[in-house]
Structure 1
């Protein structure tokens, strides 16, 4: 007679049993099937993913929409300023007579590019520092983590405001390059990436500390594998889940931060549109044309919420302790 399992043993094996037998004693499921089942069980994450894909598609085809409408998103036409929606201008025009829909789509391109690029840059920096600190340990670990604590202690928004206000010509850039439209995007991405890596670094360090004690890592060390190979081939693939989740969750915050900097006039510089500087232009027209502030504000809100829900869904789907069959 088989002895009964203790509650601790039963709880520890519950995810494994769910993975092997499925929800109703069916055939074994692959890791990919388990991931998609859990993810699609998170309805808000699925809706958020659909919204973000649709938004990305619309922003990508902004030139096509601009061509089909027969408008120029940067053409100033003061005689048609603050016009209501029409066939040629589905969302009306702004305070300078420019098409609001087209500028929202181009602004979405900028905001999404900044969010994705800065999040990826932060993830790369945080992963390198975290995996190095966790694997080597000792004084190097202490030094890197104290440096991380110092960056966390910095007042991020005031620091970014100061750095964004730095005159790039004083750093050796030519005046033409410093005043170009694209340089403001690169500057914001670099600034946010340089201060936004701390969360990923802490997560990767903790996961690395756990992984380097596993048998397969010790076996690789015994076979003479180099430290970079062990970190990149054996440890990094096993700590990628928290990196994905943290990166996804950070995108919404980065978009919001870029919008704040652009709203303050220190982010994306006109005439290049972003949702933040569109809000800046609309703040003086809040009583005359409130929709000019509603449209970019609503898109910022929906995009940030969507990325947060998407991150929650990925966290549930990638968590090995998550309960199969989420309601």
Structure 2
């Protein structure tokens, strides 16, 4: 360990944690008397907005994944295992959904939610209620439109698994189809599910920023990196240029996406049988 010749890079981990703790301690000590990242056009602290925006990114990534997984797993496994007309119907479904531009579908859903809120003001008395409904609707729409890729992968893996000898033996012994799916097929496709979910998390965070920037994302009153970038867009035309809001949103979004991608690489390596066979 002292020489750093271990399977786990402890030295890099310790140095990274030490650097992170030092940066956090410095920012906390300075934030009591200074605005570390400056303020925006109305005097709000940019560091506070950037940290609060992490919640929005995590909520969208987590809730969207929870909405996407049941569709992708159920339809993908059923299409690959049952084949026939079931496979044809599911393929037609995700092919049709993939052909619809996602931005237009999300914009239509968000505008419908806004019309519903405007027509029923008694149900949403505060701005927080309206913002939470819009955030929830965005998660649902992103989940409905993002399950097709995982469904295709699970269908292909299930088509391969159903021809394996142990699946054929279970079928010959009279084991029920859904029992085979639950005991033999589903556990053998979970590695794909884990890898794709972690990889898609960073894409969902970036999607929120892009959608909020063009005005069809979260509510403008919600703290998010997309709203920060959208607000900083007009500030860049001022003289002198107000650039720190854009840089702060970019740095924290970059840090979260980078962490998610590194974690996805670690998950992929952990579940890759070829790497385990090579002893890497």
Q: Same fold (TM over 0.5)?
A: yes
Match of 1:318 among 243, 252, 271: 271
Q: Does 1:113 align with 2:66?
A: no
CA offsets per residue over residues 229-249 of structure 1, 9 Å max, x none?
A: 221222111100111111111
SS at match of 2:154: helix
Q: Offset of 1:325 from its aligned partner?
A: 4.5
Give the corresponding residue for 1:89. 35
Match of 2:50 among 88, 91, 104: 104
Moved more, 137-146 or 85-94: 85-94
The structure-2 alpha-carbon separation of the partners of 1:120 and 1:222, relative to structure 1 and needing over 3 Å to count, comes to same
List aligned pairs for 1:143-292, cutoff 5 A: 143-170=89-116, 174-175=120-121, 176-177=123-124, 180-286=130-236, 287=238, 288-292=241-245
The structure with more helix, counted as a fraction of residues: 2
Query: Which structure has the greater CA radius of gyration?
Result: 1
Q: Offset of 1:168 from its aligned partner?
A: 4.7
The structure-2 alpha-carbon separation of the partners of 1:126 and 1:171, relative to structure 1 and needing over 3 Å to count, comes to farther
Does the aligned pair in 1 maintain the 2:134–2:219 contact within 8 Å?
Answer: yes
Unmatched segments (≥5 aa) in structure 2 = 1-6
Does the aligned pair in 2 maintain the 1:114–1:255 contact within 8 Å?
Answer: yes
Once residues 219 and 173 of structure 1 are traced to their aligned partners in structure 2, the CA distance between those partners, rounded to angstroms, is 59
- Aligned CA RMSD, in angstroms, stands at 3.2
Q: Offset of 1:101 from its aligned partner?
A: 1.7
Give the corresponding residue for 2:79. 133
Does the aligned pair in 2 maintain the 1:163–1:191 contact within 8 Å?
Answer: yes
SS at match of 2:217: coil
SS at match of 1:166: helix
Unmatched segments (≥5 aa) in structure 1 = 1-36, 59-64, 70-83
Q: Offset of 1:311 from its aligned partner?
A: 2.1
The structure-2 alpha-carbon separation of the partners of 1:210 and 1:149, relative to structure 1 and needing over 3 Å to count, comes to same
Does the aligned pair in 2 maintain the 1:85–1:92 contact within 8 Å?
Answer: no
List aligned pairs for 1:295-310, cutoff 5 A: 295-310=248-263
List aligned pairs for 1:28-47, cutoff 5 A: none
TM-score by length of 2: 0.80
TM-score by length of 1: 0.69
Give the corresponding residue for 2:3. none
Once residues 80 and 117 of structure 2 are traced to their aligned partners in structure 1, the CA distance between those partners, rounded to angstroms, is 35
